[in-house]
């Protein structure tokens, strides 16, 4: 499971406060930044669709979940363009009760 498999949820957990945590693992290098950003965007869009269509109810039947975290872990440090893209995404998904959490090596 990885960023290059857009239809696959890399990981799912229920956090301490009852929020759903959707894990996304990005192992790709930034050699082709434009292509990498497109792949990342497609994966994030599939996670948003997963939330909007309430597919999480299969993993957490009977639980009320109204807050979500998309936890993105990068193997390689993010570029300036990637950081700007992720900030834009975070702003756009905030009204949907979705938080974007970024884990990146320095």
Per the structure, the count of domains in the chain is: 1
Instruction: For residue 65, tell me if it sits in a domain.
Output: yes
pLDDT value at 88 more than 80: yes
Instruction: For residue 63, tell me if it sits in a domain.
Output: yes
Q: Considering the chain, what percentage of its residues have pLDDT values greater than 90?
A: 81
The range of the structural domain enclosing residue 63 comes to 11-103
- Per residue in 9-27, pLDDT (tens digit) is 999 999 888 899 999 999 9
Instruction: For residue 1, tell me if it sits in a domain.
Output: no
Instruction: For residue 6, tell me if it sits in a domain.
Output: no
Element (H, E) at 87: helix 80-93
Instruction: For residue 5, tell me if it sits in a domain.
Output: no
Q: Taking the model in full, what pTM does it have?
A: 0.94
pLDDT score, position 16: 80
| Neighbouring residues of 23: CB distance < 8 A, sequence distance ≥ 6 | 10, 11, 12, 13, 71, 73
Phi and psi of 78, rounded to 5°?
Answer: -80, 150
The residue written with tokens 């696959």 in the block is: 8
- Per residue in 21-70, pLDDT (tens digit) is 999 999 999 999 999 999 999 999 999 999 999 999 998 988 889 899 99
Instruction: For residue 22, tell me if it sits in a domain.
Output: yes
| Helix, strand, coil distribution of the chain in percent, nearest 5 | 40, 25, 40
Ramachandran region, residue 5 (left: φ > 0; alpha: ψ -120 to 50; beta: rest)? beta
Instruction: For residue 82, tell me if it sits in a domain.
Output: yes
Q: Considering the chain, what percentage of its residues have pLDDT values greater than 70?
A: 99
């Amino acid at each position: 499971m990885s960023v290059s498999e857009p239809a696959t949820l890399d990981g799912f957990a229920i956090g301490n406060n009852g929020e759903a945590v959707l894990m996304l693992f990005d192992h790709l290098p930034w050699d082709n930044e434009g292509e990498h950003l497109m792949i990342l965007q497609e994966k994030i869009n599939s996670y948003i669709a997963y939330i909007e269509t309430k597919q999480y109810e299969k993993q957490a039947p009977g639980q009320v979940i109204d807050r979500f975290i998309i936890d993105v872990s990068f193997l390689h440090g993010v570029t300036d363009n990637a950081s700007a893209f992720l900030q834009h995404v975070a702003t756009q998904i905030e009204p949907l009760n979705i938080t974007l959490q970024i884990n990146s090596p320095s």
